Structure 1
Amino acid sequence: MRIDRLLAVLLLLQRRGQVTAADVAEEMEVSERTARRDLEALMMAGVPVYSVAGRGGGWRLVGGARTDLTGLTADEARALFLVAGPAAEATPAVKAALRKLVQALPKPFRGPAETAASSLVVDPKHWGASWPAQQPPRFLEVLQEATIAGVQVQLGYNDRHGSPSRRTIHPLGVVVKGPAWYVVSNTDEGIRTFRIDRVSSVELTDEPVTRPADFDLGATWRQITEEVNRIREPLEIDGLCASDGMGKLRMTLGDRLAIGDTAEDGRIEVRIRGYNEYALAGELAGLVEWLEITAPVAVRDRLVSIGRSLVDRYSPAGLSVPS
């Protein structure tokens, strides 16, 4: 996992003082190209890493080798934790490492570092079809700064229809879902989510953010996505799938597929979300070799209708379909 490697590369730099991309590649068991990208990612995030050209060169931390992080500035510490602390990606080992790194920071930096580590969630699943990769949106950095600083923002925003508005938000965290970025905020109407590529202006204020008690960005984002999925895909159907067809089912349905227990005949219970009976039956008709829909009846009836239409269109003349 790349987050683990970034932390490991930083600790390697601290231990050795200077490393080459080849050193990192050997230590992390990755290619030199990947090692160089990891070093550049730390540098671009604001961690004080720099390259030395020529014979005997490599990559160094500003100030030389250290056994702790006390040489980092407040901004650099926040940058490190933004790189290394996305809540949806961090393994238990990474979280443990982050706790140790926090304790190595000077006391004035610990609060901002912990806030940075919990202010970003990475959700790799796309909404619906996959989108092409995009550049980070224009106002991402300043909204991250507002989140970490805990200050309210005057936000200019265009909704999905292009209608502009201006509002005051209390930014609580940033989420990247697939290629899209969102800021999760407290507002007068409750928790709201804004797509950052629709933001037209950002003005930071001196007013502190009002943060709901026991707010957790990861848990809140899960609730938001579950609600969006219920709206986008209100229909649920049940079925049984042969084990050798599960790969095709996962590839076709992605996160719209929930897997249950194994039935007595060896098939696997599944639950599938979709928009309506018509669309979902059409999508699943090509999986009939492995998948049997058990409920609701309307989807089964639609599949029967699709089957008859296929036979009518493509069967040899004179072949009838039993009712």
Structure 2
Amino acid sequence: MRASRLLSLLLLLQTRGRMTARELADALEVSVRTVYRDTEALAAAGVPIYADRGPAGGYQLLDGYRTRLTGLTPDEAEALFLAGVPGPAAELGLGTVLATAQLKLEAALPAELRARAARIRERFYLDAPGWFHEEEQNPFLGAVAEAVWEQRPIWVRYRRWGGEVTRTLEPLGLVLKAGVWYLVAQAGGQPRTYRVSRMLELELQDGRFERPEGFDLAEYWRSWSEGFADRLYRDRATVRLSPRGVVLLPYLLGQGVARMALEAAGDPDATGWVQVEIPIESVEHAVPALLQLGADAEVLAPQSLRARMAMTVGALARLYETNT
């Protein structure tokens, strides 16, 4: 266990450069005192590790020192080949680079591990987009990726609900979520999220910008994702559901949201119907969604949604009466 931790500490310093004892402790999930002991052990073993004192100090390796490590476990070798995502890499213009890197890695592995890696390719395949969704067109993805790498601002014309806008953005990172590419970029001094497929025009700007100190793309995305549902579904609707409607609700809202709605619901009435509160984006968005439940759902509130449902159902009834 300790040998593995020492190796992890060494690789952290080799890949990230100078790190404080607290940063190392957090990354390794140990105490600062343990980091002190481990760095002393590495130094005693001949690793050129040293510490700079003071507020800007930390541990680092002697400039130019690199360790060439072997001894991947079978599970580690398999995990490396699972990490390859050829589709998204190709979209970023890195498909050939990824294929070449995997070939080099495979050539460096012992015969037994090469065989295990081959079995991974035979048995696992990642297809990120959801069913019945056309592949999004991202003509500016390459230019966005270039701007992210080079820290160059971009000017974009962007389509959003309600029309088009123009923005000058400082690209901080790209995120692939369920087959959809998102750009995280600074605008007006604040990080914001933009769907790459909605970019209608893009121009790389001159100069470079400074990334905000301490910005963590993964942490930002986690925080942004957690608040996404609250930002999207700002209203609530009160709906009565039949027993069959209860079964169908997860297909409408998703398992997580449906479970929370049903857990907060009261007991079924004498006929088995239950009253629930469900999140909606707007009355306009809710009508076609709730119509999917047919006669297994009755909207009770808000009154504007109930009236719109009644009007739509009435129009449907008249349409079918006319055509029969």
Larger-Rg structure: 2
Q: TM-score range by the shorter chain?
A: 0.3 to 0.5
Q: TM-score, normalised by structure 2?
A: 0.48
Q: Would you tell me which structure has more strand in proportion to its own residues? A: 1
Q: Would you tell me which structure has more helix in proportion to its own residues? A: 2
Q: TM-score, normalised by structure 1?
A: 0.48
